Homo-oligomer: A and B are copies of this chain.
Amino acid sequence: MNSLEKIGLPLHQNPSGDKLFLNIFTIRGNKTGEHVHFQANVHGAELQGNAVIYELMKTFLNEEFSGSATFIPQANPLGLNQKSGTHTNGRFHAVTGNNFNRYYLDIVKNAELLQFNLEKFVNDNGALAPYQFRVQYKTALEQAIAQYILSTQNYGLPYEKKLALILQKTAAKADYVFDLHTGPSACRYVYCGEFMRHQVVDLNFPHHLIIPNEFAGAMDEACFMPWFTLNKLLKEKNKAEMPFESYTLELGSEETLNLSAAKQDSANILHFLSKRGFFTKEKTTELLDKQYFCQLKDYKTYYSPYGGQIDYLKKPGDIIAKGEAIATLLNFNELGTGCEHHDLLKNISAEKDCLLINHSPSANVMEGAELFQVMENVQCNF
């Protein structure tokens, strides 16, 4: 019913000469309105967002809505194609080791370099109506990124940087940005900037990591920081703030695609957008009783104290009491040299009360390996 546009952007040339394309799909509703940007699979093994985009597109194609939506599934073709053994080794670039989610541009910090003068922008455009002001601001953001890209033409650009800039530039026209990731073996959770912590509940996700209103390299931060900074300035000037939200959604475990779970993921996101006024007919979802929140500083990683094989005794989403065993590690090396058979298993126990968010997808770990990540000082329905 609604119109679909596809842009097949030549993103990258392989050593073989074959090209990888970024497919950018845009669906426009029959009325003007806000713009939402979805991207999935920036880490090569994090697949579920593709299924969620598949589900979301079904609704956006077939139901009446205002505004427009951009979808970039399989957003990192190089990362997706990095197979090593049967697994996908797409968290970092196989040549450089660079994490694909750390090369977005910090527009605020590089404002001078980018000739992006926020003060001047607000002064020049202060008289515009809010909608027009937002359109102008988005254009300014897009131009800043385009200018930066231009400045790199002579010496070239590494893939991870080029990809990040294209994604960020595409998302510059959005009012809402969703970057769809997954954890390793994980439950569902959201990275949420401190300033959006009351809005995020509309997403109906069970777990939330509240991150500082700062740029630390990721897409959500790269997108919200220019708006967060703008709003701080507008507030100082006693002007109305502009709506903008961007989130990183963690949709369960990597290396899996589950179309039926994607229906629920999609329902949650549509419910959020429905509350923002996208759909003519309200979209509902079955609301959770409990949502859990934790500050980033209380999000703790356990690193393995030994090498060996692990039985993960707890599942993502489990609540664990201080001192409880989270996992047991087996290793035969010491057996027969002072160590008895019944001492072969070693427990790894909770330092504090916590909620298990994810654990390693492999039971085979070296010393120092990330075993699990937990939320401490968790608050419920915060």
Contact = CB atoms under 8 A, between A and B. Distances in A.
Interface stretch (A191-199, A220-228, A325-333): A325-333
Given A50-B330, A302-B155, A87 B362 contact: yes
Given A154-B351, A157-B368, A311-B257, A16 B362 contact: no
Contacts of A53: 332
Q: Which range holds the interface residue count of chain A?
A: 35 or more
Nearest to A72: B332
Interface string A272-300: 00000000000000000000000000001
Nearest to A98: B97
Interface string A226-255: 000000000000000000000000000001
Q: Quick one: copies of this chain in the complex?
A: 4
Contacts of A316: none
Contacts of A256: 363
A366 B159 contact: yes
Nearest to A99: B97
A338 to B, nearest CB: 11
Interface string A330-367: 11111111000100110000010000000011111111
A18 to B, nearest CB: 5
Given A351-B154, A366-B15, A368-B157, A361 B255 contact: yes
A94 interface: yes
A80 interface: yes
Contacts of A259: 311, 328, 330, 345
A136 interface: no
A57 interface: yes
Contacts of A156: 302-305, 368
A257 B330 contact: yes
A58 interface: yes
Given A18-B77, A86-B361, A25 B368 contact: no
B45 A364 contact: yes
A302 B50 CA distance: 24
Contact of A87 (B80, B87, B304): B87
B95 A257 contact: no
A155 B74 contact: no
Nearest to A262: B311
Nearest to A370: B158
A94 B362 CA distance: 14
A66 interface: no
Contacts of A337: 6
A184 B366 contact: no
B306 A51 contact: no
Given A12-B368, A300-B155, A17 B84 contact: no
A85 B84 contact: yes
A319 interface: no
Contact of A84 (B21, B89, B157, B368): B89
Interface string A58-98: 10010000000000011001101101111111011111111
A368 B351 CA distance: 44
A91 B97 contact: yes
A81 B363 contact: no
Given A15-B364, A17-B333, A158-B368, A85 B95 contact: yes
7 contacts: A13-B367, A15-B366, A16-B74, A23-B336, A74-B309, A92-B96, A255-B364
